[in-house]
Amino acid sequence: MALKPPPFLQTLASFLLVLLACSEASPQQGLPNYVRFSFDAALFPVEAEYDYIVVGGGTAGCPLGATLSEGGHRVLILERGGSPHEFPSLSTMDGFLPTLSSAFLASDSPAHPFVSEDGVPNARGRVLGGSSAINAGFYSRAHPEFFHGAAPEQGGVAIKWDMGMVNESYDWVERAVTFRPELRSWQSAVRDGLLEANVTPYNGFTVHHVAGTKIGASTFDPSGQRHSAADLLAFADPDNIRVALRANVDRILLNPIHGGRRRNQHAAIGVIYRDRYGRRHHAMTRPNGEVILCAGALGSPQLLLLSGIGPRAYLSSWGIPVSLHLPDVGQNMADNPRNGISIVPPGPPLDHSLIQVVGITQSDGGDTGPFLEAASNVVPFFSNSRLPPFLHPHTGTTPLYLTVATLIEKVPGPKSFGSLRLASLDSRDNPLVRFNYFSSPDDLEACVSGTRKVGEVLAGRSMDEFRVPPGWFGNGLEKRDFRFVGAELPENMEDDASVKEFCRRTVATIWHYHGGCVVGKVVDGDYKVMGVASLRVVDGSTFSVSPGTNPQATLMMMGRYMGRKMNEERRMIERRRNRRRTTTAPPPGP
């Protein structure tokens, strides 16, 4: 049963909201400037009107909301999590693994865990800034093909991108949140190993997607501090924007349009959301306003289904009134599979690093092949009889801290697709999702190619300092070169069956899942939900492929890009309205 605040607390909360909203004082020292307009959802009125309601203050939602507010519009961002500064572990790269590993233990973790029906653990952002506030910080623009068409196997439609505005939007993001990383031991060795393995040419530092080996940008600055999409709220007009934290949207409010061009067409007029006490709030749109879903590849299709937009028979089976039969909501779900190895170097501990170097391979036909990336992390290992001897040299519960270096490959695309379905009628529950990893033979072949390339990197001279001395293992394992943690590469890398079995057995996520509201299936080329007025989806759920080595750059760009487009659309509407008023005005008197 939901807890409700006592009446006096509700009154006090409303008073504080008015006081804070009217205050012109600068934000508290040391806190980000968006604290000026970010408040707990319990402080918001039970009903209020806005020009734009952005559901999800994540990687796309923050730049979108900031840009819309620049246009002079009243904007509300509804974020189901808290603020990044509430979670100190998010501020540096050292907190990346602890945040993910502790996600299953805390109900309010900024990383909301889920396990796909494939059995692969995963996580989604539950904090202002979304997954850009919990990820490994790698930043790289989309591959050029992303802007020139859609996946034909899904019947996708091409979006008419304004490439000038695309590049300006990327630039806007990069000035605020990207930095050139400094390569240290493991990242430098992987860069050299990729070149030895003929992942060429060497492109140096670049944010562009180019074949070969490159150093990408990072959202961690030189002092190691993280910068996420939440930082882009610094560009918002504080008088025009409010961010509601811990606001869980239950459903979209729809009204039928009578006399429209299409039968049973509806228009979004607002949303219902709950605060931490379970109290319901109505956020309504003003005339010409819109609801924009930026809740991610899981949240956006889930909200459409809960609002009666989706396959008719499926919605009826849940007892959800059907507003619009849209059969592809929740379909075409995909996640880029990750496979790789982890080793413990024999020498002194390595520097902590997240992804900084990437190898972008090409197939024999010239198409983009698997991506190779690396990281090194200090992790604790406890005494455990099931661990190899070198991982528990003493007894007791005191952990032994070791550096684990990883080398992974990511399958591009991918071409394997699954689906999403509801787990309950409560929007706070994760939906059920199946990605069907490697159901496409092309994806499995790509994994084989990428795994073999990992083996080539490990065989290079650049890896010599990470090999164990001869005779280290004994017991018939003298030929082993590395101290592996977890799965090892197959002994016979030329055996297709062995490498395919390795791919299937060790598949993991790289957290780049997408789909569920794909362009051409659920939304049109302007990201408007087909058959519903005043409702858009602007996030990774609209992607039919993951845009390059990491999607966060393109998602932040997309938020800025669509905000600018929508501001332009609004100005055109207002100009047309003003012209009509001028034309129909009565002539002046004598």
Q: Is 511 annotated as a binding residue?
A: yes
pLDDT (0 to 100) of residue 164: 97
Cβ contact 514:543 at 8 Å = yes
pLDDT (0 to 100) of residue 473: 54
Please state, in angstroms and rounded to a whole number, the distance separating the CA atoms of residues 409 and 456.
12
Cβ contact 262:58 at 8 Å = no
Residues with catalytic function? 512
pLDDT (0 to 100) of residue 471: 62
pLDDT (0 to 100) of residue 194: 98
Please state, as a whole number, how many other Cβ atoms lie within 10 Å of the Cβ of residue 476.
7
Sheet holding 400-410, edge to edge: 202-205, 212-215, 357-362, 368-381, 400-410, 337-343, 508-509
What residues have CB less than 8 Å from 347, skipping those under 6 apart?
465, 466
**Token output for 584:** 């129909």
Phi and psi dihedrals of 570, rounded to 5? -65, -40
Cis-peptide, bond into residue 345, ω within 30° of zero: no
Alpha helix locations (H) across 143-251?
A: 163-177, 185-196
Please state, in angstroms and rounded to a whole number, the distance separating the CA atoms of residues 196 and 199.
7
Angle 441-459/185-196 helices, nearest 10 degrees? Answer: 110
Residue-wise burial string across 374-399, b where 16 or more C-beta atoms lie within 10 A, e elsewhere: bbbbebebeeeeeeeeebbeeeeeee
**Token output for 556:** 């932040």
Residue-wise burial string across 307-324, b where 16 or more C-beta atoms lie within 10 A, e elsewhere: bbbbbeebbeeeebebbb
CA 164 remoteness from chain centre: 24
**Token output for 472:** 């280290």
Q: Is 325 annotated as a binding residue?
A: no
For residue 32, the number of C-alpha atoms closer than 13 Å in the C-beta half-sphere is 23
- Which residues of the chain, if any, have pLDDT below 70? 1-30, 149-157, 259-264, 365-366, 380-400, 471-480, 581-590
Closest CA to 39 of 185, 192, 243: 243
Q: Alpha carbon of 540 to those of 170, 246, 293, 483: distances in Å?
A: 16, 22, 11, 38
DSSP for residue 480? -
pLDDT (0 to 100) of residue 380: 66
pLDDT (0 to 100) of residue 379: 73
The type of residue at 190 is: V
Closest CA to 88 of 107, 65, 58, 110: 110
pLDDT (0 to 100) of residue 19: 39
pLDDT (0 to 100) of residue 13: 47
pLDDT (0 to 100) of residue 262: 54
Q: Is 551 annotated as a binding residue?
A: yes
Q: How many residues does the chain have?
A: 590
Please state, in angstroms and rounded to a whole number, the distance separating the CA atoms of residues 344 and 494.
25
Handedness of CA 519, 557, 568, 234 (dihedral sign): positive
pLDDT (0 to 100) of residue 295: 98
User: What burial class does residue 128 get, using C-beta atoms within 10 Å of its C-beta: 0-12 exposed, 13-18 middle, 19+ buried?
Assistant: buried
Cβ contact 95:88 at 8 Å = yes
Q: Is 538 annotated as a binding residue?
A: no
pLDDT (0 to 100) of residue 94: 84
Q: Is 85 annotated as a binding residue?
A: no
Angle 496-506/441-459 helices, nearest 10 degrees? Answer: 100
**Token output for 12:** 């006090």
